[in-house]
């Protein structure tokens, strides 16, 4: 059964802070959830479904913390793409009549946690030995997150002739948008030269090729058509959704593409639209190479042509051919909890409502895409794509 037109996003709220030293993750999840409900004109008592990746017993602990009575609960964990998976799952449950008002939340505080670990003389553990199948092969050698993305970038360069200057164009576009966002962590415009002259982090990726580390989060409210029609708030229709896994294939991994190769076509097919129909795209941007490969895999350009595609202001709002991440994205604005999928949906909703920052509002937006990548581009990932449209589309 298709979810096309069966569910609507009526509330979207992003935490305004990027550094939250005196809060817990559960508190952040609650704050963004309440913010999204207020944006929709609803209350906690209206919620009958919760989607989150909260601490403790996950959705159970968070439901207790917020005093929710639920008929549906889901804490599917696919890293940074989880909130976009949750949008699709909530729409499916609503289409089945299992729930009517679904709250999706994400919160995190890695920025504050890193500072606290440093002040306490400890080390922040981004990963550790576990019982995961890959652990025995990878944990003994250590994992550098920039390193695994740098490996993918170097392979893309080898295969297709991509340059550091082309990757830098992605950061330039994100920074152009972030300067108009009063909440963005980094608001300074940058040039291609600034990016390629910034310190090398993991060859060929420079410091400015990397996303920001921030606290904060965001919330979404997904409802049935009946509920949406009863609210005065302008809603956004969910048209299509796709998700896919790409992994290392027992060592036979091709580093030049992502799971968007499959999640994108599934979402476009369900929505009945094509990449060329999109007025803007909010794409997961942990690193500049993540964006370039995703643009190719979603079909906005041919594989290997991403470097050419991003030139000449293609990604810059309001008049580029494909404005992307008009809030500044994870590269400049906000990458809460090291999971940036939530903010991609929120900014797509803003664009469709005509509520983006005025300098980057794309004229007459009818269709928007949001895409998340969870896991690592160079190993294993869960990719999720959602297509959104105007409430009367």
pLDDT in tens, 311-349: 999 999 999 999 999 999 999 999 998 899 999 999 999
Euclidean distance between the first and the last CA atom of the chain, given in angstroms as a whole number: 19
**Domain assignment present for 134:** no
Return the minimum-mean-pLDDT range out of 6-10, 33-37, 55-59, 366-370.
55-59
Q: Are residues 270 and 332 in the same domain?
A: yes
Q: Are residues 292 and 352 in the same domain?
A: yes
The contacts of residue 316 (CB under 8 Å, 6+ apart) are 173, 176, 177, 323
pLDDT in tens, 16-70: 999 999 899 999 999 999 999 999 999 999 999 999 999 999 999 999 999 999 9
Q: Are residues 194 and 316 in the same domain?
A: yes
**Domain assignment present for 25:** yes
Residues 52 and 351: their CA atoms lie apart, in Å, by 24
Can you say whether the dihedral through the CA atoms of 323, 327, 329, 331 is positive or negative? positive
Q: What is the average pLDDT across 191-199?
A: 98
pLDDT in tens, 102-134: 999 999 999 998 888 888 755 444 444 457 777
Q: Are residues 258 and 229 in the same domain?
A: no
pLDDT in tens, 257-292: 999 999 999 999 999 999 999 999 999 999 999 999
CATH number for the domain that contains residue 311: 3.40.47.10
Q: Are residues 271 and 222 in the same domain?
A: no
Q: What is the pLDDT of residue 309?
A: 98
**Domain assignment present for 275:** yes
**Domain assignment present for 174:** yes
Q: Are residues 230 and 182 in the same domain?
A: no
Q: Are residues 258 and 369 in the same domain?
A: yes
**Domain assignment present for 261:** yes
Residue 135 has pLDDT above 80, yes or no: no
3-state secondary structure of 49: strand
3-state helix, strand, coil in the chain (%, to 5): 40, 20, 40
Give yes or no for a contact between 209 and 287, defined as CB atoms under 8 angstroms apart.
yes
Q: Are residues 98 and 40 in the same domain?
A: yes
Number of domains in the chain: 2
Q: Are residues 191 and 226 in the same domain?
A: no
**Domain assignment present for 138:** no
**Domain assignment present for 361:** yes
Domain range holding 21? 7-115+215-237
**Domain assignment present for 132:** no
Q: pTM for this structure? A: 0.94
Q: Are residues 314 and 328 in the same domain?
A: yes
Q: Are residues 16 and 46 in the same domain?
A: yes
Q: Are residues 298 and 364 in the same domain?
A: yes
Largest CA distance in the chain: 56
């Amino acid at each position: 059964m298709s979810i096309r037109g069966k569910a609507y996003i009526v509330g979207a709220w992003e935490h305004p802070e990027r550094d939250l030293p005196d809060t817990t993750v559960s508190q952040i999840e609650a704050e963004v959830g309440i913010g999204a409900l207020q944006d929709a004109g609803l209350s906690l008592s209206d919620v009958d479904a919760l989607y989150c990746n909260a601490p403790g017993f996950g959705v159970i602990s968070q439901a207790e913390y917020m005093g929710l009575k639920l008929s549906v609960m889901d804490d599917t964990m696919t890293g940074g793409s989880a909130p976009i998976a949750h949008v699709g799952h909530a729409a499916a449950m609503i289409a089945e009549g299992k729930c009517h008002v679904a709250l999706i939340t994400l919160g995190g505080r890695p920025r504050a946690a890193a500072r606290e670990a440093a002040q306490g003389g400890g080390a922040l553990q981004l990963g550790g030995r576990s019982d995961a199948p890959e652990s025995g092969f990878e944990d003994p050698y250590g994992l550098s997150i920039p390193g695994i993305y740098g490996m993918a970038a170097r392979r893309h360069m080898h295969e297709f002739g991509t340059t550091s200057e082309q990757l830098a164009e992605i950061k330039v576009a994100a920074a152009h948008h972030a300067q108009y966002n009063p909440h963005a962590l980094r608001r300074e415009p940058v040039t291609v030269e600034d990016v390629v002259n910034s310190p090398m982090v993991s060859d060929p990726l420079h410091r400015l090729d990397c996303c920001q580390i921030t606290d904060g989060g965001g919330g979404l409210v997904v409802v049935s058509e009946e509920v949406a029609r009863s609210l005065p708030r302008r809603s956004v229709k969910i048209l299509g959704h796709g998700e896919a896994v790409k992994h290392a294939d027992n060592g036979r991994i091709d580093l030049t593409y992502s799971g968007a190769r499959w999640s994108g076509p599934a979402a476009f097919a369900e929505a009945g639209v094509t990449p060329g129909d999109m007025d803007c795209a909010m794409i997961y941007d942990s690193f500049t190479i993540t964006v370039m490969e995703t643009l190719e895999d979603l079909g906005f350009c041919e594989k290997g042509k991403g470097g050419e595609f991003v030139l000449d202001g293609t990604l810059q709002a309001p008049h580029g051919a494909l404005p992307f991440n008009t809030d500044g994205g994870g590269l400049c604005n906000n990458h809460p909890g090291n999971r940036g999928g939530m903010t991609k949906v929120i900014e797509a909703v803003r664009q469709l409502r005509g509520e983006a920052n005025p300098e980057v509002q794309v004229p007459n937006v009818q269709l928007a895409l949001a895409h998340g990548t969870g896991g690592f581009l160079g190993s294993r990932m869960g990719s999720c794509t959602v297509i959104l449209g105007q409430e009367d589309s």
